[in-house]
Chains A and B, each alone.
Chain A
């Protein structure tokens, strides 16, 4: 078991004096085994992204714990996160927002290499960056460009390849293709699928059931902060139990 999320609850306070509270995530538990691609489905605003933020340590949960290889991620110090971040990487929805808009692509690609001291000298660093962009199909002269000058698909592929370059054990994908075209989406999904065998586990968040069906092996359906159904992809798609899952599957537009 790589990741175990136990009874996670997150309360947000709203209203003028903060007297109202909303449970964004309500008693959520699931586990991700090694090599799993775990899908998390649900409508917008159901708390999918809050779960990722808690796993990444960007938010403290009100209750519950996240165990990563037996360690509670909600209690890890900032110093230890330096080592953990190498193992837990993330890809967000907006590709351009993954990069520093004021630094060029080369800087952004070299950043993890510098941070984790993967290269001994400048030439070695350049070699690693070239290797990285080759996998994405960018040419070397594009390294001087800034994030807004490359296309969304290129930026998204680059952010995935950059995340994978650290050989993480867990990759969290938060709707990586919802802003992209079908043809570009296919490139991204293939990139993820190629890495499926390499001892990599994934938490894939999406509202697109077709994608979940195509790449995941287990899936959880979320609604209003709660997990309403969980199981293998075959079970959930072939024989949905909960009303909401049935509703979601029924709103599929068939081609």
Chain B
């Protein structure tokens, strides 16, 4: 398989009060064609920032280094004007929080139509309306053609989410970045949204980066998973491998903290980016901590078949213990 998107050693710093705060640390990810990569982690671990870095949507005080290669081109080095031709057309995004991401003063249909109006100049507004309605129907949105003229406040949270999805897919993108699509949705809707995304991917064959903290949803849809902690990718591999046989202590802790696994609590809290521990960023919360951890920073090392872990202890990992944790 060919890599559609390659992130190599992405580093991201923010200038805060004239001092540099290091956020993303050597993030490397690969996304192949027709593949879903789930990026999971806690709030504030840098998942959304990685997505925004791909989309050139970072604030002005961000300092980015490294490279993001999309179809052979380095998008970090691209000028905003050049990138604008890609964004929205080949690389699209579905933002988080459906209730606040839509313009409250604009009819939902027009908001979706707006995505193609300025990209394809040969179409006028009347041609687009049926296309928008078609997409609404495909996403099983109710109210038929009347929905085009509704305002966001007239729709429920789940419907707003689907309107956002239609904005993401109307241009038939090659790469779709989905940010927390299941957050604040209720139980039944959550499954519906994940199923819609699954169908879309089968139909249009687009690749997806699925940013979420919902482990169950990630497992349902993703081929591969990357686990992020504190601005670093700590574990990556096939979804089954990572979620059924987690190797990194953080991934293990995260999975054990799910209600269905008995909600075991990880000790401590995620450190602030200004007071990171030395060496491994997880060292102060880790159960397998030894002196080596604070001396040097571990590297993301491949264990087997694409399953890579950023931890010193994983070479001497006790496999039985891992199996116990999962069952």
Residues of A within 8 A of B (CB): 43-45, 137, 151-153, 178-179, 181-187, 189-190, 207-211, 213-215, 247-248, 251-255
Q: Would you call B220 and A210 a contact (CB within 8 A)?
A: no
The listed residue with most A CB atoms (<10 A of its CB), out of B42, B186, B254, is: B186
- Convert B108-139 into 0s and 1s, putting 1 for each residue whose CB lies closer than 8 angstroms to a CB of A: 00000000000000000000000000000000
A255 to B216, CA, bound (A): 5
A88 to B93, CA, bound (A): 45
Q: Would you call B188 and A248 a contact (CB within 8 A)?
A: yes
Q: Would you call A181 and B43 a contact (CB within 8 A)?
A: yes
Q: Would you call B186 and A211 a contact (CB within 8 A)?
A: no
With A184-B42, A186-B257 known as contacts, the answer to whether A209 contacts B187 (CB < 8 A) is yes
Q: Which B211-246 residues have a C-beta within 8 angstroms of A?
A: 213, 215-217, 219-220, 243
Instruction: Knowing that A186-B263, A253-B216 touch, tell me 11 more A-B residue pairs with CB under 8 angstroms.
Output: A183-B254, A190-B263, A208-B187, A210-B260, A213-B260, A215-B259, A247-B188, A251-B192, A252-B187, A255-B215, A255-B258
A122 to chain B, nearest CB (A): 30
Stretch of B27-35, B81-89, B264-272 lying at the A interface: B264-272
Q: Would you call B220 and A214 a contact (CB within 8 A)?
A: no
Q: Is B22 on the interface with A (CB-CB < 8 A)?
A: no
Which of B187, B217, B261 is in CB contact (< 8 Å) with A207? B187
A-B pairs, top 6 by smallest CB distance, nearest first, are: A186-B257, A253-B216, A186-B263, A251-B191, A207-B186, A210-B259
Q: Is B262 on the interface with A (CB-CB < 8 A)?
A: yes
The listed residue with most A CB atoms (<10 A of its CB), out of B157, B187, B194, B215, is: B187
The listed residue with most B CB atoms (<10 A of its CB), out of A43, A182, A215, is: A182
> Chain B, interface size: which category?
35 or more
Contact residues in B for A211 (Cβ distance below 8 Å): 259
Which of A152, A182, A213, A252 is in CB contact (< 8 Å) with B254? A182
Q: Would you call B186 and A43 a contact (CB within 8 A)?
A: yes
With A45-B156, A253-B216, A255-B215 known as contacts, the answer to whether A214 contacts B189 (CB < 8 A) is no
Q: Would you call B243 and A255 a contact (CB within 8 A)?
A: yes
Q: Is B153 on the interface with A (CB-CB < 8 A)?
A: no
A214 to B257, CA, bound (A): 12
B290 to chain A, nearest CB (A): 23
B64 to chain A, nearest CB (A): 26
Q: Would you call A208 and B259 a contact (CB within 8 A)?
A: yes
With A190-B263, A253-B220 known as contacts, the answer to whether A181 contacts B42 (CB < 8 A) is yes
B281 to chain A, nearest CB (A): 15
Contact residues in B for A251 (Cβ distance below 8 Å): 187-188, 190-192
With A43-B187, A181-B43, A186-B263 known as contacts, the answer to whether A253 contacts B258 (CB < 8 A) is no
Q: Would you call B156 and A44 a contact (CB within 8 A)?
A: yes
A-B contact pairs, 26 of them (CB 8 A): A43-B187, A44-B157, A137-B269, A151-B269, A152-B43, A181-B42, A181-B213, A182-B258, A183-B257, A184-B42, A185-B257, A185-B259, A186-B266, A189-B259, A189-B263, A208-B187, A208-B259, A209-B187, A210-B260, A213-B260, A215-B259, A251-B187, A251-B188, A253-B216, A255-B243, A255-B261
Which of B157, B219, B262 is in CB contact (< 8 Å) with A214? B262
Which chain A residue has the least Cβ–Cβ distance from B157?
Answer: A44
Q: Is B200 on the interface with A (CB-CB < 8 A)?
A: no
Q: Is B296 on the interface with A (CB-CB < 8 A)?
A: no
A243 to chain B, nearest CB (A): 13
Which chain A residue has the least Cβ–Cβ distance from B187?
Answer: A207
Contact residues in B for A255 (Cβ distance below 8 Å): 215-216, 219, 243, 255, 258, 260-261
